[in-house]
């Protein structure tokens, strides 16, 4: 009952306060910067690792099942458990958070890249071979560009979920905006701090999603033209 009193009946604990935001802009910006940096690094590394794996699964059919099953199993492991596996080895730094985030982003990107590659029409593949493209040239100049919508879908899904997942990094003290959320909770249930962290987190996810959607439009002009024609 005493907790309830502190949290609810105490006056001057509003859900949002400009005073707090102005007075602590340095802390808030630092948290936001860490959050954005962790998300960007994680998605970038995951993309660089996932695309070759997806290509491998695409080229070597017998490997498709194992690669998808392994990344699926990794995805089932709860985030807290994953961070707990990594922390004793990498310590309580950003690297622990980064490795965990990469693992989760991997599955989404692999799965969507593979779906994109599989959607390339067989006639297109035949035509490329008939024109004398080698395997690698065909991949780089025909198949990957045509799989781009799938790849970008994966990257977008991975980005949005990584933004939310980064907050779990508070476990090792590097959760970006999660530091504000949990910090506010531990600091006498300071609502303004919790709410600022939450809002910035959702906003960051929204902004990154819109940016990637814009990039998708720029990079795949043909799909827009097709949509207009149809």
Partner 1 sequence: MNPIDQAVRWLNDPLNWTNPGGILDRLVEHLGISAAAVALGCLVAWPLGLWLGHIGRGGGLVVLVSNVTLAIPTIALLTILPLTPIGFGKPPVILALAVFAVPPLLANAYTGIRQVDPEVREAARGMGLSGGQLLRRVELPLAVPYLAAGFRTAAVQVVATAALASFVNGGGLGQIVAAGFGLGISVGGGQILAGGLLVALLALLVELVLALVERLVTPRPLRRAVRRTRRRADQRATAAITGS
Task: Please tell me the distance from the alpha carbon of residue 95 to that of residue 91, in angstroms, as a whole number.
Answer: 8
CB of 13 to partner 1, least distance (A): 8
Q: Is 54 in the site for partner 1 (CB under 8 A)?
A: no
Is the Cβ–Cβ distance between 189 and 198 less than 8 Å?
no
Of 75, 76, 56, the closest CA to residue 64 belongs to: 56
Place of tokens 């701090």: 193
Q: Is 112 in the site for partner 1 (CB under 8 A)?
A: yes
Q: Is 181 in the site for partner 1 (CB under 8 A)?
A: yes
Pick the closer one to partner 1 by CB: 33 or 226: 226
- Determine which helix (DSSP H) or strand (DSSP E) holds 219, and give its type and residue range: helix 191-219
Of 48, 118, 105, 53, the closest CA to residue 75 belongs to: 105
Pick the closer one to partner 1 by CB: 128 or 200: 200
List, in order, residues 6 or more apart from 75 with CB less than 8 Å away: 104, 107
Task: Please tell me the distance from the alpha carbon of residue 147 to that of residue 170, in angstroms, as a whole number.
Answer: 36
Residues in the chain: 230
Q: Is 161 in the site for partner 1 (CB under 8 A)?
A: yes
Instruction: List the one residue from 17, 24, 64, 79 that touches partner 1 (CB under 8 A).
Output: 79
CB of 22 to partner 1, least distance (A): 22
Q: Is 194 in the site for partner 1 (CB under 8 A)?
A: yes
Q: Which tokens hold the place of 39?
A: 């998300």
Q: Is 205 in the site for partner 1 (CB under 8 A)?
A: yes
Give contact residues for partner 1 (rule: CB under 8 A).
Answer: 3-4, 7-8, 73, 76-85, 87-89, 91-92, 112, 115, 149, 152-153, 156-157, 160-161, 163-165, 167-168, 170-172, 175, 177-178, 181-182, 184-185, 189, 191, 194-195, 197-198, 201-202, 205-206, 209, 213, 216, 223, 227
């Amino acid at each position: 009952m005493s907790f309830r009193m502190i949290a609810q009946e105490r006056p001057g604990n509003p859900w949002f306060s400009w005073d707090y935001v102005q007075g602590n802009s340095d802390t808030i910006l630092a948290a936001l910067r860490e959050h954005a940096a962790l998300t960007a690094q994680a998605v970038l590394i995951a993309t660089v690792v996932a695309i070759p794996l997806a290509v491998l699964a695409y080229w070597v059919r017998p490997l498709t099942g194992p690669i998808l099953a392994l990344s699926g199993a990794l995805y089932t492991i709860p985030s807290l458990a994953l961070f707990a596996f990594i922390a004793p080895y990498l310590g309580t730094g950003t690297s622990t958070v980064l490795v965990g985030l990469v693992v989760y982003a991997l599955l989404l990107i692999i799965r969507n890249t593979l779906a994109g590659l599989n959607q390339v029409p067989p006639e297109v593949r035949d035509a490329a071979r008939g024109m004398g493209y080698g395997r690698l040239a065909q991949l780089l100049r025909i198949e990957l560009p045509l799989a781009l919508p799938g790849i970008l879908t994966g990257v977008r899904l991975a980005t949005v979920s990584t933004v939310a997942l980064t907050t779990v990094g508070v476990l090792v003290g590097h959760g970006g905006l999660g530091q504000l959320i949990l910090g506010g909770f531990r600091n006498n249930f300071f609502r303004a701090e919790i709410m600022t962290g939450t809002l910035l987190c959702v906003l960051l996810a929204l902004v990154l999603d819109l940016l990637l959607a814009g990039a998708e439009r720029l990079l795949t002009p043909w799909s827009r033209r097709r949509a207009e024609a149809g």
